Amino acid sequence: MEETQRKLALRVVESPLEIEKVQTVAAVDVSYRENTARAAFLLCSFPDCEVLKTKVVETEVSFPYVPTFFFLRETRPILLVLRGEDFDLLLIDGHGKAHPRGYGLASHVGLLIGRPTIGVAKKFLRGAPERSFVRVGKAYVSVGYLIDLDSAARIVETLLERDYPKPLRLADRLSKRGSL
């Protein structure tokens, strides 16, 4: 599986994003209770982050927690909650290229959906390649897919509230409580 992850990392596209064209930002987060995963989707306007829509999907956990293979556990619930949704950019609670093999959850979801994604994590993942992330507030920000690190950092900085991006903070709350 590690070799597959390294090969997929080569398919990650990094490019500057025309931030002035971004009108909506989505955020997703997943929480767990026993064998149930609750995925939360939050859509907000950009840059003012007015909440436009929320959605929660619950599903059975289909993969155990394995360090550095988190993407295998969270992809299915995230894809379920994203089904039918439209947005310009997606923030994901997890790493993108700031992963020991250069391919975390944000890169995997971005590659699958073909949309710009940003990895935003609360903790540093040991072994992440140099210059694969930047600190913005308390967040570790990395390229997911179809964006470069500078654009990702600028977007996250715009969305900061209390040192963390507001859309992800709200998606985290939504995934844990089922409501804002």
- pLDDT at position 16 is 98
Q: How many angstroms separate the Cα of 20 from the Cα of each of 128, 144, 150?
A: 30, 19, 14
DSSP 8-state symbol, 158: H
The string of pLDDT tens digits covering residues 91-116 is 999 999 998 888 899 999 999 999 99
Calculate the average pLDDT of the chain.
93
- pLDDT at position 99 is 87
Q: What is the rounded average pLDDT of the residues 167-172? A: 98
Distance from C-alpha of 106 to C-alpha of 102, rounded to nearest angstrom: 11
Q: What tokens does 77 get?
A: 């619930």
pTM of the model: 0.94
DSSP H or E stretch at residue 29:
strand 24-33
CATH code of 147's domain: 3.30.2170.10
Question: Domains in the chain: how many in total?
Answer: 1
- pLDDT at position 65 is 77
Distance from C-alpha of 69 to C-alpha of 16, rounded to nearest angstrom: 27
Distance from C-alpha of 13 to C-alpha of 71, rounded to nearest angstrom: 18
pLDDT at 27 over 80: yes
Domain span at residue 82 reads 2-177
